[in-house]
A = this chain, B = another copy of it.
């Protein structure tokens, strides 16, 4: 495929796009408009989040009358702050936005985030308002996220502009680019309260009048903290640029994408990639896959795949070796692998010889391997260790998946065992799946697995889906010479 020239990362103006984006994630100072000293408005939520996340830059707030809000100095206009403002956040009604943006321009503020809705999300009149807003911003050399955007989260700098009251999120390797505020809202809360994978950056783009996925991708490409990029999009406007950039970014870091809406992106991708306007899901999925993007079909799958790609080495091939404490697990894994096109090679003679140590002589030794029979004699822990070791040893079992249901397993430390196995076979991804189990056991095992960066899932379909994402990306990388 050859090296793709970096044509899109310097805009007309001459400043690299990635540098332009920096102030959306790591600004030295921020001005927030839309907080109040008397009432709890959405702008106050933004201020509170900045405090809770430990943002260390300067914070100003813009208010016509207040002297300070929540301990933050207030100014009647951005123009009167009298200090450099890296980014301004407008948590204001639609009617006040244009004036706010013009004030920012006058004050030399280069980056604005516009939260107001009611633009291209609101019919023809809104679209016209958005066009004017876009023009105002572009003609003044500014960059705008939104409108209808809740902005960004940057866990390391503690910069956060969400309108939802959040708790701090652990830094981690996954960055998210989304058109919806969900990922800086409900899902941010879900991650901070239950997940251990952590986040690097989140950008919620809203209507994308100016800043879009291409801009953010330019930035994340060279962001050392972003190891995996997860994207939720409802339509890529700059299809060809996105495709070229994705093809390049994918060589360095995996990208997973969920497309919301069944036709728009397809039409845009097809129009810009193949010149066709007739493209639908299959076309854009084909184009994205060709660019190395792992395309998934739901939010769960987006997180599941991103987590596996963040935790695991890439497998040498698509094959799975599966060990399950439940016979139904072996059957359902086989079904799920079949649907995903993931082969299950038979255990080699040597594998069978080793595996049979912990099982009754009549046990059937296949792949998936049912180790329930080990509960009938001897130690289940030993059986797991021996069989998993034998499977990991077998070269053509490229990824190992273990299906637990946490009954005899409650007796030993399964995460420790998998971590040891991974140490002996560092090139081999190891995934776990838990079916059922009591809330307490489940939480304990999930936590101990995730603490050791072993991706764990609560359904067979989800675990196999994550294994598929690993295989899919690994295969693309190999084929593209990466």
Residues of A whose CB lies within 8 Å of any CB of B are 42, 93-94, 116-118, 121-123, 125-126, 164-165, 167, 178-182, 185-190, 192-194, 232, 234, 260-262, 297-300, 326-329, 331-332, 334-335, 338, 360, 362-364, 372-373, 375-376, 405-407, 434-442, 459-461
Contacts and interface: CB of A to CB of B under 8 A. Distances in A.
A328 B180 contact: yes
Given A261-B335, A298-B460, A93 B185 contact: no
B260 A335 contact: yes
A336 to B, nearest CB: 8
A281 to B, nearest CB: 9
Residue among A121, A122, A297, A362 having the largest count of chain B Cβ atoms under 10 Å: A362
Contacts of A360: 118, 122
Nearest to A195: B439
B164 A407 contact: yes
Count chain B CB atoms within 10 A of each CB in A178, A192, A298 and give the residue with the most: A298
A407 B376 contact: no
Contact of A438 (B167, B261, B297): B167
Contact of A327 (B180, B299, B327, B335): B180
Contacts of A260: 328, 331-332, 335
Contacts of A180: 326-328
Nearest to A409: B186
B364 A298 contact: no
B185 A262 contact: no
Contacts of A94: 362
A372 B185 CA distance: 12
A185 B331 contact: no
B331 A181 contact: no
A28 to B, nearest CB: 29
B186 A326 contact: yes
B335 A185 contact: no
Given A180-B326, A186-B437, A364-B122, A332 B459 contact: no
A300 B164 CA distance: 30
9 contacts: A117-B376, A121-B364, A182-B326, A182-B405, A189-B441, A192-B438, A262-B338, A298-B459, A299-B332
Given A335-B260, A373-B118, A405-B182, A189 B437 contact: yes
Contact of A405 (B186, B459, B461): B186
A236 to B, nearest CB: 14
A403 to B, nearest CB: 10
Contacts of A179: 328
Contacts of A329: 182
Nearest to A435: B186
Contacts of A298: 332, 459-461
A193 B187 CA distance: 24
Contacts of A232: 328
Contacts of A185: 326, 405, 407, 436
Contacts of A441: 189
A342 to B, nearest CB: 14
B186 A406 contact: yes
B437 A262 contact: no
Contact of A186 (B234, B338, B407): B407
B328 A193 contact: no
Contacts of A375: 42
A72 to B, nearest CB: 23
B190 A437 contact: yes
Contact of A299 (B181, B234, B459): B459
A47 B298 CA distance: 44
B189 A121 contact: no
Nearest to A408: B164
Contacts of A364: 121-123
Given A118-B373, A122-B363, A178-B328, 19 more contacts: A117-B372, A117-B373, A122-B360, A123-B364, A164-B407, A180-B326, A186-B326, A187-B435, A188-B436, A190-B436, A190-B437, A193-B440, A194-B439, A234-B328, A234-B331, A262-B334, A297-B461, A299-B332, A300-B461
Contacts of A436: 182, 185-190
A123 B439 CA distance: 37
Given A181-B326, A186-B435, A190-B442, A118 B331 contact: no
